[in-house]
Structure 1
Amino acid sequence: MTLNAHRKMQLYGALLLLPAALLLTTFAYLPTVTTVINSLFLPGFRGEPAEFVGVENYQVLFDDPTFWQVARNNLIYALGTIPTSIALALGMALFVNGKLPGRGFVRMAYFTPTILPMIAAANIWMFFYAPQIGLFNSLLDSLGIPGVNWLGDPSVALSSVIVMSVWKEAGFFMIFYLAALQSIPPELKEAADLEGTSRWSFFWRVTFPLLMPTTLFVLINALINSVRVVDHLFILTKGGPNNATNLLLYYVYENAFSFFDRTTAATITVVILIVLAVVATLKFTILDRRTHYQ
């Protein structure tokens, strides 16, 4: 290949990458840089210029008990949704991957919550959780059990949000597990049957290890989902009662658009980005290598 032809190929490749690079720069890189810069300044008042304060905004944030309560809520939310969603998705995938009547209908039923808009799903669950006429309290009342204020009681409100999130996410993760199960060579199961291997042993020794790349992919997606919760909190609880269901990204929204404290919102956002960056680093440097048996 001549030098001129090589340069044409480089130019051609650069032009192909240009749309994606422009989108990433406009909607990812520039907002990130702007957010980091805003977190290092105090806004000026009455036309005064912004004042550079360095890490002082972070010190104020870390001294704020509400921030730590929200961070604790988000940790509980992640621990409640991530393993439950993954386990339920894997169980559903194993079930619908087998030979059962109406398998296509069952798959559609499992996946239906995923295609519902989050606002619509939140409104449905608000009816389920309604104190007087809600479905859950009506069922409890029929059994002679006093009703529960599912979204108004601080001791159960976050758990109620977790249940709804698991219902919404499990079907989405099931699709990835189902695709992974169908990619496993059937010869492995045939060989295991010839040797008299039990289903449980085959699952733990063959199926589950081969699903580890998919599990890691689903785990990262579930982790990201656990820190970007805004819409259904806005419908169900608005972070209440008494910040019992307030999570990090909703706290960012609240500071930016309810309290008009853009500096605090930017500071919290940078903290979230740092945590996600650490997780991504661990994923690419440690987990990927071990998961793919390299």
Structure 2
Amino acid sequence: MRGRATLHAWLMLGPAMVLLVAFTHYPVVATFWHSFFSTPRGTRPSRFVGVENYEVLAADPIFWQALTNNLIYALGTVPISIALALAMALWVNGRILGKAALRVAYFTPTVLPMIAVANLWLFFYTPDYGLVDRLTRFFLGWGATNWIGSRETALGAMMVIAVWKEAGFFMIFYLAALQAIPPVLYEAAAVEGASRWEVFRRVTLPLLGPTTLFIAVNALINGFRLVDHIIVMTKGGPDNATALLLTYIYEVGFRFWDTAQASALTMVLLLLLMLVALAQFAFLGRRTHYQ
């Protein structure tokens, strides 16, 4: 009987394990292996070059600029997206008129394809007659600004799009977590005379710890993964001002067809994500309340 239950368990896990190994574990191992070989060219096969691809990366100024841009991009979008998602969830979870319509409005950007979002924001960022320029001219008196064509504003413009797209998605998780908090805790806090800020800081925020950890890890991954709008709108320009690690991997791998160098770049990106994720679990895990 026990062997039959074990067989059923393996049959249930089998398809998922096959897909996980085929599309996650094997590609990682294969990419790591290929990063130590040169790129085959025509009749010249690839050859083992050791860490030469990584040495080339270390001397590549575009790689360091893409890495710096990506860190700025992640550090700018992740905390803002999380804070905005929490604020929106608290707002639509309260007793307000039309909260169902507000929830739909906040969540709508999430379901839009990133390519459609990029084309929409291309219009918003159009100099002189785009929505952003019209608003800044009306409220601030500014002139025409080339938001995605200037080194000073291009990366910030891409970050705004990412926050606009992601905050509504994270709001759904916070909203579900808020509705799962027992009302008796708020009643007890009210009996004790706690202010709204104290209730939020000592009751709501600690109980949202597991959700915040989950959102933080996903937001960080998205900070390195969501680059569709950059490829459509700027292609990493102007002058690599919006180049991120993934856009640089795409350019090296598919534009210059240097698969070995792209493999090395991919391993650097995976290592960076792993280290940051471990740091998040180490830092936030000790402050997370599961019960």
The answer (yes or no) to whether the contact 1:229–1:250 under 8 Å persists in 2 is no
The answer (yes or no) to whether the contact 1:229–1:247 under 8 Å persists in 2 is no
Which of 64, 85, 88 in structure 2 is aligned with 1:89?
85
Which amino acid letter does the alignment assign opposite residue 21 of structure 1? Answer: M
Question: What is the aligned partner in structure 2 of residue 14 from structure 1?
Answer: 10
Give the SS at the match of 2:115.
helix
Q: Specify whether residues 15 and 245 from structure 1 end up closer, same or farther in structure 2 by C-alpha distance, changes over 3 A only.
A: same
Q: Does structure 1 residue 128 correspond to structure 2 residue 128?
A: no
1:64-93: per-residue Cα shift (whole Å, max 9, x none)? 111000000000001110010000000000
Which of 199, 206, 210 in structure 1 is aligned with 2:207?
210
Distance 2:81 2:283 in 1: 23
Distance 2:40 2:91 in 1: 59
Matched residue count: 290
Q: CA deviation at 1:142?
A: 4.0
Q: CA deviation at 1:217?
A: 0.6
Question: What is the aligned partner in structure 2 of residue 23 from structure 1?
Answer: 19
The answer (yes or no) to whether the contact 1:158–1:245 under 8 Å persists in 2 is yes
What are the residue-to-residue correspondences of 1:214-225 with 2, within 5 Å? 214-225=211-222
Structure 1 vs Structure 2: percent identity of aligned residues? 56
Q: CA deviation at 1:285?
A: 5.3
Q: CA deviation at 1:289?
A: 4.4
Answer with 283-292 or 257-266: which moved more. Answer: 283-292
Question: What is the aligned partner in structure 2 of residue 65 from structure 1?
Answer: 61
Give the SS at the match of 2:89.
helix
1:244-270: per-residue Cα shift (whole Å, max 9, x none)? 001111111111111111111110101
Answer with 133-142 or 261-270: which moved more. Answer: 133-142
Distance 2:22 2:168 in 1: 32
Unaligned runs of 5+ in 2: none
TM superposition score normalised by structure 1: 0.94
1:161-191: per-residue Cα shift (whole Å, max 9, x none)? 0011100000000001111111111111111
Question: What is the aligned partner in structure 1 of residue 35 from structure 2?
Answer: 39
Distance 1:86 1:101 in 2: 24
Unaligned runs of 5+ in 1: none
Question: What is the aligned partner in structure 1 of residue 246 from structure 2?
Answer: 249
Distance 2:231 2:280 in 1: 31
